[in-house]
Structure 1
Amino acid sequence: MVRITSSCAASANVSEPTQQRSTKLAPIDELLLFLMHLSVGLPLRDLANRFGIHRTTASRIIATWTHFLYHLLGSVRLWIPKEEVKAHLPPEFSAFPDTQVVLDCTEFFCQTPSSLVLQSEVFSTYKSHTTFKAMIGIAPHSPITFVSALYAGSLSDREIFKLSGITKLLTADTAIMVDKGFLVDNLVPCKVYRPAFLSNRSQMCREDVQQTQSIARLRVHVERCIRRVKENKLFDKVIPLSVCGSIDQLFSVACFLVNYQNGPLVKAWAGK
C-alpha cells in the first residue's frame, strides 16, 4: 500500500510504508471509513467526527484506500475468455449464443465548472446537467467484465466506445449487445446485436420487432448491474470538482466491488 501522507507527497509520488502508520486508526477501521464514504456517501466532516480524527486525515485515508483498492482489485482480470462466457451462457441468451459482452453507458452529476468552455464539454443534453459518463460491460451471466474511464458528459455513446479501447478485446467470432445509441458496426470486428431502427419505414417487420423485444429483455440486466454500482450513495449527489483527481478510481473501485457482492442479478441464475 502506498500511503498518502500529504497533498504535496501525493502529487510528487512520495509515500511511506504502511508499517509507519500516520493515523491512529487500525487498517480495518480505515477500510470501514473508506466504505462509509463510498457506499453511504458520508462527507469528510461527518467521518472525521465519527472516527475522532482531523478532516484532512480522513481525506488522506480515502485517497490512500482508493489508490490501493484500485490497483489491488484492478489487478484481477475482468475480461472473461469467450470459452468461459459460452460455458456459463444462460438459456435466455440461446438466440444470441455468441454474445461476449452487454454494454451500456451511465452518467452521474458533477459540479458545474466556472469556465464556459469546460461547461460545454461536460454538459449532457440527455441529463440537462454537467455529468461524468462511463461505459460498463457485463458478461451474459452478469459479472462486470469491462469498465471504461470516465469521460465528459457531452460525448456520445459511440465516441466513448471508440475511446474506451474495448475493440482490442473483441474477435470476429464473438458479438456485443448494445443500445440504439451505439452505432459502432464499422468500429468492431464482430457482430453487433442492437434494437432495430424504424428508419424511413412506416412500421417494423415482425422479425425486427421480435428481435428488438428479445434484446431489450436481455439488456435490462446491464442496467440492473449499473444500478448496483449507483447504489453507492457517493454517486447520488453532485460530485464536486475538488475530487476530480480521484473520482475515476473511485468509480472503478465501485464497479470492481459489485463482482464481490452476494447474489446474482437474476434469481434463476443463482446456480449457474
Structure 2
Amino acid sequence: MVLLLLVLMLRLMTLLQVVISEAICAAQRLKAMNSELQNLRTENIQLRSDVAHLSTTYDQSAFVDEDEKVLFFTGLPTYQNLVLFTFLSPHLPVKSPDTFKQLMLTLMRLRLNVSTTFLSYAFNISIATASRIVTDVIDVMFIHMKPLIIWPEMEHLQKTMPMQFRKHFVKKCAVIIDCFEVFIERPSNLIARAETWSSYKHHNTVKFLIGITPQGTVSYISNAWGGRVSDKHLTENCGFLDNIVPGDLVLADRAFNIQATLGCRMAHVKIPAFTRGKSQLAPVDLETTRKIAHVRIHVERVIGSVRQKYLGGDITN
C-alpha cells in the first residue's frame, strides 16, 4: 500500500514538472509573440507614415516656393511656371491620381527619363496606369500647347531684330532651321525599323525640323518623321514652306540644299559654303560662312536646352 502511494506521488511530481515546463515554454512563446507583435505594430506605423509621406511628396502644396525642387523634377525654372498645370488641368482625364500628379508624373518621365515602373512605385499606381497617364497627358499637351508656337509676322520680327542680324543679314531673316533626332527603341515592324534607321546616328531615331526666330523663340516644330528621311526632304514636305513669304531669308546648314525650292517662293536661303573639291574657301565664302555660323549658334542652343532639360539627354542634333 505504501509502495503504491509512493509510485503515485512520483508520477504526480513528474506530471507537475511537465506542466511547469510547458507553462514556462508557453510563457516564453507568449513573450516572444508579444515582442513580435510590438515590432509589427512599430513597422506598421512606420509604413503608414511612409505611405502618407509618399502620397504627399508630389502634391501641389509640396512644390510651393520650392523652385529647386520644381527645376529638378520638371525642368521648369520656378513654381510660377507650373501655371502650365492650370492651363492644362481642365483637359486632363479625371481619375486617380489627381490631375496635378498626372502632370508631375509626365514631366518627371520627360525630364528625368525614369521608367514607368519607377513612376508606378513613386505614385502608388500600377505600371499600366503610369504608362497610360504619360500617353494621355502628352496627347493633351500636344493638342493644347502646339498652337502656342506661332509664326510671327515679318513686321514684328523687324522691330526687335538683334543687331548682329541687322548687320549681317539686313532685316529679312525670318527663321533659322535645323533638324534634331531622338533615339527610340528598335521597332519590331520591319518597315518601321527601316524608316527609322538613321545612317548618321547608327540608331533608330525619329527626326524633327525646328525653326527659331532671330530673337531665339521657337516659331516652328514639325511632326516626327523616321530618322531615315533627309533634312531636305523633311523640310520640303512637312509643311514648313507654307509659312514662307516672298522676300524671307532662311538660315540653314549645308544639309538643307533647298535654294531651288525657296526660289520658287521668291525667298532665299543662306547656308555655309561647300568645301568639297576645294583646297580652301574663297575669302568671301569664308566670311559668309563665319557670319552664318555666328548666328546659327542660337538654334543649336535651343536644341541643347531641350537636350539638357528633357528626355534624359537622348536628343541629338
**What interval of TM-score do these two structures reach, taking the shorter chain for normalisation?**
0.7 to 0.9
Number of the residue aligned with 2:182: 108
Given candidates 198, 202, 205, the residue that maps to 1:131 is: 205
Change (3 A) 1:129 1:46: same
Distance 1:191 1:145 in 2: 18
Q: Where does structure 2 lack aligned partners over 5 or more consecutive residues?
A: 1-89
Number of the residue aligned with 1:242: none
More off after superposition, 211-220 vs 25-34: 25-34
- Could you tell me whether the CA contact under 8 Å between 1:104 and 1:136 is conserved in 2? yes
Answer yes or no: is 1:69 the counterpart of 2:146: no
Distance apart, 1:153 and its partner CA: 1.0
Number of the residue aligned with 2:16: none
Distance apart, 1:210 and its partner CA: 0.4
Answer yes or no: is 1:53 the counterpart of 2:125: yes
Distance apart, 1:234 and its partner CA: 2.3
Cα deviations across residues 174-202 of structure 1 (Å, max 9, x unaligned)? 11000000000111121111111135443
- Could you tell me whether the CA contact under 8 Å between 1:108 and 1:235 is conserved in 2? no
Given candidates 275, 279, 287, the residue that maps to 1:202 is: 279
Distance apart, 1:51 and its partner CA: 1.0
Number of the residue aligned with 1:21: 94
More off after superposition, 52-61 vs 91-100: 52-61
- Could you tell me whether the CA contact under 8 Å between 1:102 and 1:178 is conserved in 2? yes
- Could you tell me whether the CA contact under 8 Å between 2:112 and 2:312 is conserved in 1? no
Distance apart, 1:75 and its partner CA: 2.5
Number of the residue aligned with 2:22: none
Structure with bigger gyration radius? 2
Paired amino acid for 2:236: K
Change (3 A) 1:20 1:85: closer
Secondary structure at the aligned position of 1:229 is classed as: helix
TM-score (norm 2): 0.65
Distance 1:150 1:71 in 2: 15
Secondary structure at the aligned position of 1:71 is classed as: helix
Distance 2:112 2:223 in 1: 23
Distance 2:132 2:211 in 1: 31
Distance 1:123 1:58 in 2: 29
Cα deviations across residues 26-82 of structure 1 (Å, max 9, x unaligned)? 222221111111111121111111111122221222122112111111122421111
- Could you tell me whether the CA contact under 8 Å between 2:93 and 2:99 is conserved in 1? no
Answer yes or no: is 1:85 the counterpart of 2:154: no
Distance 1:139 1:19 in 2: 31
Number of the residue aligned with 2:77: none
Identity of aligned residues (%): 29
More off after superposition, 70-79 vs 127-136: 70-79
Q: Where does structure 1 lack aligned partners over 5 or more consecutive residues?
A: 1-16, 239-272
Paired amino acid for 1:29: K
Paired amino acid for 2:127: R
- Could you tell me whether the CA contact under 8 Å between 1:41 and 1:232 is conserved in 2? no
Given candidates 222, 225, 238, the residue that maps to 2:299 is: 222
- Could you tell me whether the CA contact under 8 Å between 2:149 and 2:220 is conserved in 1? no
Paired amino acid for 2:94: R
Secondary structure at the aligned position of 2:105 is classed as: helix
Q: CA RMSD in A?
A: 2.1
Structure number having the greater helix percentage: 2
Secondary structure at the aligned position of 2:232 is classed as: helix
Distance apart, 1:158 and its partner CA: 0.2
Given candidates 141, 153, 161, the residue that maps to 2:235 is: 161
Change (3 A) 1:78 1:57: same
Distance apart, 1:128 and its partner CA: 1.3
Number of the residue aligned with 2:308: 231
- Could you tell me whether the CA contact under 8 Å between 2:197 and 2:203 is conserved in 1? yes
Give the number of aligned pairs. 221
Cα deviations across residues 192-238 of structure 1 (Å, max 9, x unaligned)? 11111135443221111001011011111101101112224425359
Distance apart, 1:21 and its partner CA: 2.6
Number of the residue aligned with 2:47: none
